[in-house]
Amino acid sequence: MPGHTDNEIVITAPLDLVWEMTNDLENWPQLFSEYASVDVLERDGSRVQFRLTMHPDENGQVWSWVSERTTDRDSLSVRARRVEPGPFEFMEIRWEYAQVPAGTKMRWVQDFAMKPTAPVDDEGMTSHIDRNSKIQMQLIREKVEKRAAEL
C-alpha cells in the first residue's frame, strides 16, 4: 500500500496572507526549517518548476530534487509533484486552503510510494512525513501569524 498523509492546521491570519506567504517559493528557506535553497527553473502561468535542496540530514546527506507546482487561486488549491522523484516511485502533494472562523485552514495531502532501493519503506516514510509535516506547519503558522500581527 502506498504512503499517504493528511495534515491540517488553522492559522490565525487572513487567507490572502497565508496564500501569498506559502506560495512564495523563493522565500521557502525562511518559511520552512528543512530547505536550504529553492531555485526556480521555469515559470509558465500558474505552473512553476523548481529545485529544492534540503539542509544536510543527520548523516550529512544533502537531498535535492526538482518539483512542479500548479496553483489554482480560484479553488484555493495547489497540486505538486516531484519531477525528479529520487528515492520515491512517485510523490504528489495537494495543498488546500479554506477560510474558517479562526482564520485560514491549510491542509497538505501527500501520496507517494518508495522505490524498493530506497533507504526507507512506505511505512517508514509515512511516519517521517507525517511527523515532519506537523513540525513544518507549526513553524509556518508562527511565521505567518507574526507577519499578520505586524500588518
Which residue, 9, 58, 10, 13, is CA-closest to 149? 13
pLDDT (tens digit per residue) in 67-120: 999 999 999 999 999 999 889 999 999 999 999 999 999 999 999 999 999 989
What domains, with CATH codes, occur in the chain?
3-28+74-150 (3.30.530.20)
CA distance linking residue 68 with residue 47, whole number of Å: 7
> Which pTM was predicted?
0.94
Q: What's the pLDDT score for residue 80?
A: 98
Give tens-digit pLDDT for 14-33. Answer: 999 999 999 999 999 999 99
Residue 59 and residue 150: Cα distance in Å, rounded?
38
Burial letters 44-58, b for 16+ CB under 10 A, else e: eeeebebebebeeee
For residue 151, the 8-state DSSP code is -
Output the 3-class SS for 97-144. Answer: EEEECCEEEEEEEEEEEECCCCCCCHHHHHHHHHHHHHHHHHHHHHHH
